[in-house]
Amino acid sequence: MEIVQAIESRHSVRQYIDRNLEENVIKALESEIVKCNKESGLNIQLVTDNAEAFDCFFGHYGKFENVKNFIALVGKKSKDLDEKLGYYGERLAILAQILGLNTCFVGLSYSKKKSNVKLEKGEKLRLVIALGYGQSSGVKHKSKAKERLVKIKKGVAVPEWFERGIELAMLAPTALNQQKFVITFDGKKADIHAKKGFYSKVDLGIVKYNFEVGAGSKNFKVKF
Ligand SMILES: Cc1cc2nc3c(=O)[nH]c(=O)nc-3n(C[C@H](O)[C@H](O)[C@H](O)COP(=O)(O)O)c2cc1C
């Protein structure tokens, strides 16, 4: 499956079947996590066979079922930590989709204490991505109208790559489906900003990843 197709078919899934991750799937995720950590300086970790983290009040309240595997999004406290975790987290969620898994970013509905994630000095566990074989493949989220998410300088012609970037950005998962981002275009350069909101900087990184895939990295390259 291509990355674009995976972005189009990814939807949050909170209920999974009781099936362990296959060895080759674990290997592929771990090898991509090593690459992401090398590139970013983050300490993202794959946790398998841990049924406790979601067996808590918030997990049940959030209707999570059979979550035993997750990716812990961890890094040293810094100004751009959330955005980086969103960007690399989405890259991993999309790989998981390609590998036949379903996912859900989770900021609240799990127990940090029971997650068993190892933190180095100065590191923070900001959120996790639940993953596994879904009971369903989820449903497409409702999106704000494009006009509310995009601001284009008056009189400027919009290139094809910008339109493709927007299409994929609108499919990005955001906390509470809030879509608190604005994509701008001044005739040459695209930019994406986060508005104030719950986890909106994590959302920003996720949206930037999708936009970069749609626009192509020669037109929009995310740098940290
Ligand atoms: C940063 C972030 C945090 C999230 N936290 C939670 C959570 O705590 N509980 C939950 O059930 N869903 C959580 N979600 C999933 C969102 O509700 C979901 O992505 C959104 O409704 C859009 O739907 P989609 O992922 O199916 O496109 C989170 C998503 C993101 C991006």
Mean pLDDT score of the chain: 96
Helix/strand/coil for 137:
coil
Could you tell me the pLDDT band of residue 57, with boundaries at 50, 70 and 90?
A: confident
Q: Convert the pLDDT of each residue in 119-129 to its tens digit.
A: 999 999 999 99
Local structure of residue 76 (DSSP, 8 states): E
Mean pLDDT in residue range 35-59: 94
In this predicted structure, what is the pLDDT of residue 1?
60
Does residue 177 line the site of ligand 1, with CB under 6 A?
A: yes
Mean pLDDT in residue range 108-135: 96
CA–centroid distance, 198 to ligand 1, in Å, is 11
In this predicted structure, what is the pLDDT of residue 7?
98
CA–centroid distance, 16 to ligand 1, in Å, is 16
**51-60, 83-92, 95-104: segment of lowest average pLDDT:** 51-60
CA separation (Å) from 134 to 24, 64, 66, 96, 131? 18, 11, 9, 12, 8
In this predicted structure, what is the pLDDT of residue 62?
85
CA distance 207 to 167: 11
Q: Convert the pLDDT of each residue in 162-177 to its tens digit.
A: 999 999 999 999 999 9
Could you tell which of 81, 144, 176 is best to mutate to test the pocket of ligand 1, judged by most ligand atoms within 8 Å of the CB? 176
CA–centroid distance, 173 to ligand 1, in Å, is 6
Does residue 215 line the site of ligand 1, with CB under 6 A?
A: no
> Hey, what's the torsion of the CAs at 65, 56, 176, 88, to 10 degrees?
-80
Does residue 134 line the site of ligand 1, with CB under 6 A?
A: no
CA–centroid distance, 218 to ligand 1, in Å, is 30
